[in-house]
Amino acid sequence: MLEELKQEVYEANMSLPKLGLVTFTWGNVSGIDREKGLFVIKPSGVDYDELKPSDLVVVNLKGEVVEGDMNPSSDTPTHTYLYNHFPKIGGIVHTHSPWAVSFAAAKLDVPAMNTTHADTFYGDVPAADALTKEEIEEDYEGNTGKTIVKTFEERGIDYEAIPAALVSQHGPFAWGPTPAKAVYNSKVLEVVAEEDYHAMQMTMDNSRLPQYLLDKHYYRKHGANAYYGQNNAKSQSHAKHE
Ligand SMILES: O=C(CO)[C@@H](O)[C@@H](O)COP(=O)(O)O
């Protein structure tokens, strides 16, 4: 079942160690077949150098395993929630990449401080609200997806214009129309998080790009009426820093 999607998701998973985004077995990539309502995800705890396309687990949008001998990633409930609430995404990546995790640990947005950021993210990448003790005890992974979606809804952020979020004290989730694009967005996030950290240390400031420069770079890559957001879309987090 879904052999082509398994190959695509396998290749996306294997690009994570090549891009320096994962250590050991940390991280996972999934991809969805929207017509079938099924997604494919990395099995939990499997070393990347031992992973095979046939190991990937097929899961439905209730989070139930429909095919696979291994346990799906422990983050499957988060992927499930995001696929159900962000209907235009086709792939999701979770990593523990160190610079993005540093911002997650500090519960800080990754600010849109440079044009590399603006080429991919139309504003600050938000740190989702930290889960309460009750939410963690109730369903940590499921509520992780919920806090990401709730943060985007409350802050009025277009999930296609800013295809990533930080889960406080855990790490980044990134997404896109395909698994490969989700991996690309995950890597850009790690690069700009490191750049921001150094800029903030040197200037003790986290100043933002002016809106016109954010527009110029973002829409140069995505087009005036970008699939990703609308011409005048402003992430709430960016608007407040103008
Ligand atoms: O952080 C955690 C577990 O605490 C996970 O995101 C990470 O180890 C990846 O887990 P999986 O191997 O995908 O189950």
The domain that holds 43 is classified in CATH as 3.40.225.10
With a 6 A CB cut-off, is 73 part of the ligand 1 pocket?
yes
The answer to whether 89 touches 175, Cβ cutoff 8 Å, is: yes
ipTM above 0.90, yes or no: yes
If you ran DSSP here, which 8-state letter would residue 50 be given?
G
Residue 239 falls inside a structural domain: no
Task: Identify the bridge partners of residue 199 per DSSP, sorted by sequence position.
Answer: none
Structure tokens belonging to residue 51: 């992973």
Centre a 10 Å sphere on the Cβ of residue 228 and count the other Cβ atoms it contains.
Answer: 22
With a 6 A CB cut-off, is 60 part of the ligand 1 pocket?
no
Residue 228 falls inside a structural domain: no
Q: Which of 9, 24, 28, 40 to mutate to test the pocket of ligand 1 (most atoms within 8 A of CB)?
A: 28
Give residue 31's domain range: 3-222
Q: How far apart are CA 138 and CA 132, in angstroms?
A: 10
Domains: count for the chain? 1
Q: How far apart are CA 237 and CA 111, in angstroms?
A: 9
What are 131-147's pLDDT values in tens digits?
Answer: 888 998 898 888 999 99
Q: Which of 23, 25, 26 to mutate to test the pocket of ligand 1 (most atoms within 8 A of CB)?
A: 26
What are 100-135's pLDDT values in tens digits?
Answer: 999 999 999 999 999 999 999 999 999 998 888 899
What pairing do the DSSP bridges indicate for beta strands 91-94 and 171-176? antiparallel
Indicate whether this model's pTM tops 0.80: yes
